[in-house]
Amino acid sequence: MTSRATSTLVICLAVATAPVIAAELEERTRQAYDAYAARTRRAFVDPATLRGADAARVNRLRTGAIIAGAGGGDGIIDVPGGLLHHWAGAIFVPGATLDTVLALAQRYSTYPSIYESVTAARVLGREGDTHRILLRLREGGGGITAVLDVSSTVRYVRVDARHAYSVSEATEIREVTDVGRSNERHLPPGEDRGYLWRASAFTRYTERDGGVVVELDTLGLSRGFPPLLGWVIEPVARRIGRKSVEGSLREFRDALGGRTPA
């Protein structure tokens, strides 16, 4: 679940960086992302927040609503040399238990059949509750298609019988070119199109009221918008970012059989 969230960012970044030119990740950009991600992670796993959503929010989610929007600022935040994308969402999965939700989240081999954007998934290794996985993500928009191989480390923490959380951090993101052909290859770092340089996802799972509340924060780092097109692209990218989070949460809920009430 948490690693799938990475691909929710790719479609808006593909639209945003339509000019097909290489982009290089600068050290100042990496540092800005790392500092923001560390603050977000600390806040997300703070004991005060691990209790989960309040009653009013849960009641809204129980109607089948998916709450999604900016996780910080207005969802797209300027940092030196790039853009930080922070989106958040929540769902309620009726009839589910914490055990069944965690089991599906960790069943990575089924991700291609659950999530439209995941075309391949492989477990690289596991040590206790920490998984190393590789996902191939395919997204597109505005006539642009991006294929990325994303290696991530995902750590699950079972707080108690009713609460858990996971932290997913990409360890390597490589853009793939000539996909499916004999000359398929990864673009070297610094020679890709800057769709996604860094990615993290944080998920809380809370069992309550006959189901499980799933709360998700996704972070991504990309190149900036083209200077003369940013004012056109930015509103579109925001709409796509929010809707992509909604879509991934809906796919996860549907896979558990918790479809929206009629």
Task: Provide the residue range defining the domain that includes 162.
Answer: 4-255
Residue 230 lies in a domain: yes
Residue 186 lies in a domain: yes
Q: Record the pTM.
A: 0.88
Give backbone dihedrals phi and psi of 216, rounded to 5 degrees, phi first: -130, 135
Residue 262 lies in a domain: no
Residue 261 lies in a domain: no
Place of tokens 């690693």: 3
pLDDT tens by residue, 144-192: 678 899 999 999 999 999 999 999 999 999 989 888 889 989 988 767 7
Residue 51 pLDDT grade (very low, low, confident, very high; cuts 50, 70, 90)? confident
Place of tokens 């935040």: 77
Residue 235 lies in a domain: yes
CB-count exposure of residue 226 (10 Å: 0-12, 13-18, 19+)? middle
**Contacts of 258-261 spanning 24+ positions with Cβ under 8 A:** 258/92, 258/93, 258/94, 258/95, 258/96, 258/211, 260/64, 261/63, 261/64, 261/94
Residue 219 lies in a domain: yes
DSSP 8-state secondary structure symbol assigned to residue 210 = T
Residue 260 lies in a domain: no
> How many domains does the chain contain in total?
1
Residue 261 pLDDT grade (very low, low, confident, very high; cuts 50, 70, 90)? very low
* CATH code assigned at 136: 3.30.530.20
Specify the 3-state DSSP secondary structure of 240: helix
pLDDT tens by residue, 90-140: 999 999 999 999 999 999 999 999 998 899 999 999 999 999 999 999 876
